[in-house]
Amino acid sequence: MKSRVCELLNIEYPIFQGAMARIADASLAAAVSEAGGLGIIAGGTAPVDYIRNEVRKVKEMTEKPFGVNIMLLSPNAEEIAKMVCEEGVKVVTTGAGTPGKYMSMWKEHGIKVIPVVPSVAIAKRMVRSGADAVVAEGTEAGGHVGELTTMALVPQVVDAVDVPVIAAGGIADGRGISAAFMLGAEGVQVGTRFLAAYECNIHQNYKQKVLNAKDIDTVVTGRSTGHPVRILKNKLARKYMELEAKNAPLDEIEQLGVGALARAVVEGDVDYGSVMAGQIAALVNKEQSCKEIIHEMFTEAEKLLNKEWR
Ligand code: TUI
């Protein structure tokens, strides 16, 4: 299943590991890259020197290509944008905003830039400003999400731009990969399934909550504040829904999110912490290595695309 994405990035399998904030560290990114995909370190809202150190660790752990994701709502986005140039990072993905102002700096440093986009208009804007590919992320994804579904978004972005499109949101097995390719995608980005990877250093309570999730267990909080985030339902999610239903002041709602991701990821508080995961969480039923995950997904996808139905 080689595609332009494999050629562009010099990777074996056209799969990106989603850059899950506070979660996607050197351990996860190196394991995915070593297995032939593109591992991505999440910048999230972390300080620049923490991310710089993760970059250096990945370089020690693998010779293969890897990326860094810059979450543009982070107060540290600008510093991280410069750091990737200093550290010779080859691939940058971006999320939760448009990276136009950094584009020329990254291109001068020979960095491949791949923004995550939630709509056709933003995809076109990113390509005009020099994006090498785009990740079209549907609202099925975990974390910060747009409105459109992967099924509707991907073919529309594919028709609108000439660069390769990587599909994200709701993909966790070979059926998802095959479907994405049928829609014209040339790669996939997978987050939720990698939460169950051995190399994913989240609290065991977080992992278990993902493994136990059912189809209807996620909800999008924060649509009213302009920061829509998909999480697994828990006491925190209910509190969000209560406040949003009674039109509470925005800062009161926003306050619920402060420190909530760390509470879940680090402390294992899956009641009052923010347990970000996608709608496909129910399909994730076992812990595996990143290598097993990638091999299983592509073996299944190749069978399906060769029409060996079931
Ligand atoms: O970025 C994500 N997912 C994320 S980021 C994150 S960390 C976070 N922490 C606190 C509050 C909010 C987030 C958790 N999950 N996915 C990529 C993504 N990007 N989804 C949607 C977008 C997006 C949205 C608007 C990209 C561009 C955009 O542009 C708007 C504009 O006009 O600039």
Please report whether residue 299 resides in a domain: no
Does residue 44 have its Cβ closer than 6 Å to ligand 1? yes
97 alpha carbon – ligand 1 mean position (Å): 6
The answer, yes or no, to whether residue 100 has pLDDT greater than 70, is yes
Q: 110: left (phi > 0), else alpha (psi -120 to 50), else beta?
A: left
Confidence of residue 230 (pLDDT cuts 50, 70, 90): very high
> What domain range is 228 assigned to?
214-276
Indicate whether 98 and 11 sit together in one domain: yes
Indicate whether 47 and 70 sit together in one domain: yes
Q: Which two tokens stand for residue 144?
A: 């910060």
Confidence of residue 309 (pLDDT cuts 50, 70, 90): low
Please report whether residue 301 resides in a domain: no
Q: Which of 171, 201, 231 is the last residue of a domain?
A: 201
Please report whether residue 282 resides in a domain: no
Please report whether residue 189 resides in a domain: yes
Instruction: For residue 286, count other CB atoms closer than 10 A to its CB.
Output: 9
Predicted TM-score (pTM) of this structure = 0.97
Share of the chain above pLDDT 90, in %: 95
171 alpha carbon – ligand 1 mean position (Å): 18
What pLDDT was estimated at residue 73? 94
Return the exposure string of 14-43: e unless at least 16 CB atoms fall within 10 Å of the residue's CB, then b. Answer: bbbbbbbbbbbbbbbbbbbbbbbbbbbbbb
What gap in Å lies between CA 276 and CA 126, rounded to an integer?
A: 26
- Domain tally for the chain? 2
Share of the chain above pLDDT 70, in %: 99
Does residue 135 have its Cβ closer than 6 Å to ligand 1? no
The answer to whether 150 touches 180, Cβ cutoff 8 Å, is yes
The answer, yes or no, to whether residue 71 has pLDDT greater than 60, is yes
Which of 124, 144, 263 has the most ligand 1 atoms within 8 A of CB, as the residue to mutate?
Answer: 144
Does residue 145 have its Cβ closer than 6 Å to ligand 1? yes
Indicate whether 250 and 113 sit together in one domain: no
Indicate whether 33 and 144 sit together in one domain: yes
Does residue 278 have its Cβ closer than 6 Å to ligand 1? no
Please report whether residue 60 resides in a domain: yes
Name residue 10's amino acid: N
What pLDDT was estimated at residue 44? 97
Average pLDDT score over residue span 112-120: 98
Average pLDDT score over residue span 197-205: 98
Indicate whether 142 and 176 sit together in one domain: yes
What pLDDT was estimated at residue 209? 98
The CATH number that applies at residue 49 is 3.20.20.70
Q: Which of 239, 229, 305 is nearest to 272 (CA)?
A: 239
Confidence of residue 262 (pLDDT cuts 50, 70, 90): very high
Please report whether residue 53 resides in a domain: yes
Average pLDDT score over residue span 106-110: 98
Please report whether residue 295 resides in a domain: no
Indicate whether 152 and 248 sit together in one domain: no
